[in-house]
A = this chain, B = another copy of it.
């Protein structure tokens, strides 16, 4: 298959590309940064079929160029997005441009070129929903999103739904739950797993909010399930992709201390964080059924492997 992965330099995008290429697909990717082997002006004569293009999906001409230079594609995995709740609040201009306008750009190209789209949504669309997060919750109950990042992801799902109704475009939506693993470089806006590990490995003090429970999904499990979508593509479906074991944020901190051997006095506790759910419990039975989704790494195993990777990339 000919596949495009937008956001190919991101944590999930990069892992997915590796998995898809191992399965024999022709995979092109794009992202914001320049790369040594990108499409474009170059003195090199060894890159016959470039597999990377610099592209801001929020700029229509740039993403159209990727299709003109590297297309056509059978599937597009649209991973490119501004990521994270507080990132979205601090950089809301970029958030709305990349996520709402960028995804609309992809949908407009889909209406023209008719590729099958896999769109990356987030557990954040469930907003303040207190119970088990099943894919159909939003078809039955009134949900309000608690931050602009969550809103962009829900907007994307409605944009996709309206395009399917009006233009018969074929899309599968995946809602990722707290995915972490090798390839996730630290910033203050990354997954809580990444931030805790980074602080512990660097001997930096950090804050743990009490009273929140989450699941975690190890990246290798996520990307295998994502790659399986091309084997059983069901247009119009939405899948939760997440972990099964619920843990508190305090328990996650304990695992981090264990796999890093960091000093427990680095951990500082604070009361509940505002505008985020207390509990995120996910029903993954649909992705298990259709996409053979598996959680094959325990939290401790996954965190240990991620810590090893971090020690290596940060030369600790």
Partner of A166, one of B139, B142, B165, B274: B274
Over the window 11-42 of chain A, the binary record of Cβ atoms lying under 8 Å from chain B Cβ atoms (1 yes, 0 no) is 00000000000000000000000000000000
Q: Is the CB of B101 within 8 A of A165?
A: no
Q: Which B residues touch A146, using CB under 8 A?
A: 162
Q: Mark A165-177, 1 if CB is under 8 A from B, else 0.
A: 1100000000000
Contacts of A155 on B, CB cut-off 8 Å?
A: 148, 151, 155
Q: Which residues of A contact B (CB under 8 A)?
A: 60, 92-93, 96-97, 100-101, 104, 138-148, 151, 155, 158-159, 161-162, 165-166, 274-275
Q: Which secondary structure characterizes the binding site on chain A?
A: helix
On chain B, the residues within 8 Å of A100 by CB distance are 92, 96, 100, 148
Residues of B near A96 (CB, < 8 A) are 96-97, 100-101, 104
In angstroms, how far is the closest chain B Cβ from the Cβ of A3? 26
Please list the 10 inter-chain residue pairs (A to B) with the smallest Cβ-Cβ separation, ordered nearest first: A96-B100, A92-B104, A151-B155, A96-B101, A93-B101, A96-B96, A142-B142, A144-B158, A141-B142, A145-B158
Shortest beta-carbon distance, A137 to chain B, in Å?
9
